[in-house]
Amino acid sequence: MKKELLIASALVSTLGAASVANAVTATMSGHHDAGLKGSSIDDSTADTITTVTESSFSVSLSETTDGGVGIASSFMLANETDTGLHTAGLTLTFTDGSKLDIINGGNAAKSHDVAVPGEAGKPGVTLTSTNYAQDALDFFGEDTGVGIEWHSAADFMADGLKIGASFSADTGAAAGASVKLESSWGLGATYVTSAGDTALTIGAGLADSTWKINTTGPSTGSNGFHVGFSAVTGDLTVAAGYANGDKVADSTTNNESEVNDNTVTKVGAKYVAGDITLSLGYTSGAGKASNTLGTAGSNEDAKDTLAAGISYAVASGVTANIGYVDVDSQVAGSSETSGGASWYLGASMSF
């Protein structure tokens, strides 16, 4: 009996070793945020202080074929920072350095927007009235997930240039009370160069998508472009961006809206002094909302946001954050009281 147990143990060990040897390479990453957020909306709403605890945990998988083609994917085990677990499709990396995302490919316009500094941590103001003004450079550029995105290798046709292109198709879902995205495409480019001691990054994107409200209603579109730059000189970073376009505001409560003539302007700067990073940013967004898809709006919503932050690197992977935002809101061309201010004090731990 003892002999049989020894043989069985050896067999299990051998099979286990074989399975590990044949496994793809897996790496883990994530973060955990813990802090306090205070909000002050208007005189009729009580000031609040709430706890903020948000976490994410993701696993990345990768392997390379004998021909040198990389195959990669990823999935999330937990994500409390926004909706969805962001399960990726497949990414193929070719020997020339180019990549192809297949399944959940994304939109190339979003892949090339420039990051503009702003607040630190998790401050935020929740507007109490409906304001359709956008505040992100990539507010357009939706995709169905049934699509692909191609990324060029570095130095594509010119030193410092990378480009991308994407397309997504109809999922076949019926368009009823809530609008459905039928198809979309996107183009994007990033150019990196230097001017003396300054490293300069320029990013731009263009996208278009088609939506359907029901089986008989006309299709309507969401489209736009963005352009921005980031300049780094020593410890100082200055960045700015501009976006313009139309957007379909989707809702499952049968009140879809068409928001036309959106403009978003962002400017910001950050300065790194040892373990401390100071940041400051300003965003101005405006758009004309219409309750009828395919019809241009006439009443303009607007939203202006001032943001600031201080981050301190306490230890490896641990950052203490102090953040502040102030939001001024206008709905249908009139000032209203749902804007306000918010502060944040907390820490982020990343691995």
pTM: predicted TM-score of the whole model, two decimal places: 0.83
Give residue-wise pLDDT tens across range 22-81: 789 999 999 899 999 998 876 667 788 999 898 989 999 999 999 999 999 998 887 776
d(CA 226, CA 218): 27
> Was domain 26-108+118-350 assigned CATH 3.40.50.720?
no
Residue range 121-167, pLDDT digits in tens: 889 888 767 788 889 999 888 888 889 999 999 999 999 999 999 99
Q: Say how far apart CA 131 and CA 129 lie, in whole Å.
A: 6
Cα–Cα distance between 90 and 100 in angstroms, integer? 8
User: Do the beta carbons of residue 247 and residue 287 sit within 8 Å?
Assistant: yes
Torsion of CA 264, 296, 143, 267, to 10 degrees: 0
Q: How far apart are CA 263 and CA 247, in angstroms?
A: 11
Six-digit token pair at 293?
A: 């898809």
Beta bridge partners of 59: 28, 75
Q: Which residues contact 3 (CB under 8 A, 6 or more apart)?
A: none
**How far is Cα 160 from Cα 188, in angstroms, rounded to an integer?**
14
- Give me 82's structure tokens: 């926004």
